[in-house]
């Protein structure tokens, strides 16, 4: 059963209570009630029976409403402009932080282990199709994936043309074998789709954090559909502290938006999307926030 939450001023949002009752409890009712009180409007709720497949949104309407009303501005625009104008400085910053690079590399090694294709393993598995969301300049991770013998395709997605131009330069230097494996996809990660069960791995390193809370829920549900049942894996990170959304006007010189459901609710979100967490760790990075790192497997029966 679904319901449609509406307010006097906003578009309806479908809520599938039969599938997501536990998710509907995320952040509810206190935070959202607080928001509605602050915004001076009250949501109204009407119940209806609907096809459950289309019900991807829960009761996060107030945050989207905050975006639409300009509370944070357009988060997609903030990321596009920020990373387009500061691609090189973000890249220089990441390269100057060996610990951050080590964490990325370690997490990808763990993912490759889970996929059964760790370096040095037998080459029984090959032809893997990997999607990297918000890959940035791709150094070192996209390049590492492209050079891996078990990987056939890396779909390298980013919203920033400047970041992807840097990736293209690195790929050209890396050589034809790597270059041929990478499909560059310049788009908002919310704005494309894959056939169900067609990806072996999805990776999002410090990128889902730039989405609104409700977009993260929608994105995780999509990723789960895209992954191959029982063998497909997701590697990503979330800020460990819950945040309804925050714009920093001067992060490395640029404007940036982040939000997070926090550790507990992010783990619930993954489970609700049909993903089984096989690895989790909360890591505090010096000079940065604390992140929940997760590797999750698309639940299902093998065979
Ligand atoms: C913090 S950087 C991380 C880059 C890289 N994954 C890394 O580990 O260094 C976030 C990246 O996500 C991209 N991004 C932000 N919002 C996005 C969106 N909605 N769709 C696709 N990419 C997005 C940014 O352009 C940026 O390259």
Q: Measure 57 CA to ligand 1 centroid, in angstroms.
A: 23
Q: Taking residues 95-118, report their average pLDDT.
A: 96
State the pTM of this model: 0.80
Which atom in ligand 1 lies closest to the alpha carbon of residue 76? 19
The stretch 223-230 carries a mean pLDDT of 97
Q: Is the peptide bond before 29 cis (omega within 30 degrees of 0)?
A: yes
In terms of Cα–Cα distance, which of 169, 180, 177, 167 is closest to 141? 167
More confident residue, 54 or 246: 246
Distance CA 66, CA 39 (A): 8
Q: Give the chain's mean pLDDT.
A: 80
Q: List the strands of the sheet with 2-6, edge to edge.
A: 13-16, 2-6, 44-48
Q: What is the pLDDT of residue 204?
A: 98
- Position 44 confidence tier, pLDDT thresholds 50, 70, 90: very low
pLDDT (0 to 100) of residue 302: 55
State the Cα–Cα distance between residues 260 and 263, nearest whole angstrom: 8
Cα of 188 vs centre of ligand 1, distance in Å, is 10
- In this predicted structure, the answer to whether residue 273 has a pLDDT above a threshold of 50 is yes
Per-residue pLDDT, averaged over 107-122, amounts to 90
In ligand 1, the atom with minimum distance to the C-alpha of 104 is 8
Q: What is the pLDDT of residue 301?
A: 62
State yes or no: pLDDT of 290 exceeds 70: yes
Q: Among 73, 159, 207, 256, which residue has the most ligand 1 atoms within 8 Å of its CB, making it the best to mutate?
A: 207
> Which residue's C-alpha comes closest to atom 17 of ligand 1?
159
User: How much is the average pLDDT of 149-163?
Assistant: 97
- Ligand 1 pocket test, candidate residues 133, 143, 159, 202, most atoms within 8 A of CB: 159
The reply to whether ligand 1 has any atom less than 6 angstroms from the CB of 209 is no
CA-132 nearest atom, ligand 1: 6
Spacing, Cα 43 to ligand 1 middle (Å): 33
Q: Is 79 in the pocket of ligand 1 (CB under 6 A)?
A: yes
Question: Which of 288 and 166 is assigned the larger pLDDT?
Answer: 166
Average the pLDDT over 253-279 and give the result.
97
CA distances from 1 to 4, 50, 52, 68, 72 (A): 10, 6, 7, 27, 32
The reported pLDDT for the residue numbered 121 is: 72
Pairing of strands 151-158, 128-132: parallel
Residue 155 Cβ contacting ligand 1 at under 6 Å:
no
**Per the structure block, which two tokens stand in for 81?**
């402009």
CATH topology classification for 75-298: Rossmann fold (3.40.50)
pLDDT of residue 94: 95
User: What residue spans in the chain does CATH classification 3.40.50.150 cover?
Assistant: 75-298
pLDDT tier, 289 (very low <50, low <70, confident <90, very high otherwise): confident
The answer to whether residue 137 scores a pLDDT higher than 80 is yes
Give the nearest ligand 1 atom to 163 CA.
27
Cα 164 to Cα 161: distance, rounded to the nearest angstrom: 5
The confidence band for 286, taking pLDDT boundaries of 50, 70 and 90, is confident
Q: Give residue 25's pLDDT band: very low, low, confident or very high (50, 70, 90).
A: very low
Task: Indicate whether residue 205 lines ligand 1 (CB < 6 A).
Answer: yes
Q: What are the beta bridge partners of residue 157? A: 185
Mean pLDDT for 278-286 is 93
For ligand 1, atom 8, the nearest C-alpha belongs to: 205
Stretch 91-96: mean pLDDT: 96
pLDDT of residue 72: 65
- CB of residue 159 inside a 6 A radius of ligand 1: yes
Q: What is the pLDDT at residue 119?
A: 73
């Amino acid at each position: 059963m679904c319901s449609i939450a509406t307010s006097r001023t906003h578009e309806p949002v479908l809520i599938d209570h039969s599938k997501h009752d536990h998710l509907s409890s995320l952040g509810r009712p206190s935070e959202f009630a607080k928001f509605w009180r602050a915004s001076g409007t009250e949501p109204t709720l009407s119940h209806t029976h609907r096809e459950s497949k289309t019900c991807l949104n829960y009761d996060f309407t107030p945050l989207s409403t905050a975006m639409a009303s300009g509370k944070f501005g357009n988060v997609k625009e903030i990321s596009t402009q920020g990373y387009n104008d500061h691609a090189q400085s973000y890249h220089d910053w990441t390269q100057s932080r060996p610990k951050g690079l080590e964490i990325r590399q370690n997490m990808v090694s763990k993912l490759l282990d889970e996929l059964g294709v760790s370096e040095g393993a037998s080459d029984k598995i090959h032809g893997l199709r990997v999607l990297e969301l918000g890959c940035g300049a791709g150094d070192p991770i996209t390049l590492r994936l492209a050079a891996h013998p078990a990987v056939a395709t890396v779909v390298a997605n980013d919203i920033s043309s400047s970041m992807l131009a840097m990736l293209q330069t690195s790929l050209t230097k890396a050589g034809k074998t790597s270059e041929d494996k990478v499909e560059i996809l310049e788009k908002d990660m919310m704005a494309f789709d894959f056939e169900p069960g067609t990806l072996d791995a999805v990776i999002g390193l410090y990128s889902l954090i730039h989405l609104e809370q409700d977009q993260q829920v929608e994105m995780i549900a999509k990723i789960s559909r895209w992954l191959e049942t029982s063998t497909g894996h997701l590697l990503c990170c979330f800020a460990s502290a819950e945040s309804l959304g925050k714009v920093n006007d001067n992060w490395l010189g640029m404007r940036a938006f982040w939000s997070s459901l926090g550790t507990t609710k992010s783990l619930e979100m993954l489970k609700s999307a049909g993903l089984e967490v096989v690895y989790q760790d909360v890591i505090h990075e010096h000079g940065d926030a604390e992140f929940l790192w997760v590797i999750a497997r698309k639940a299902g029966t093998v065979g």
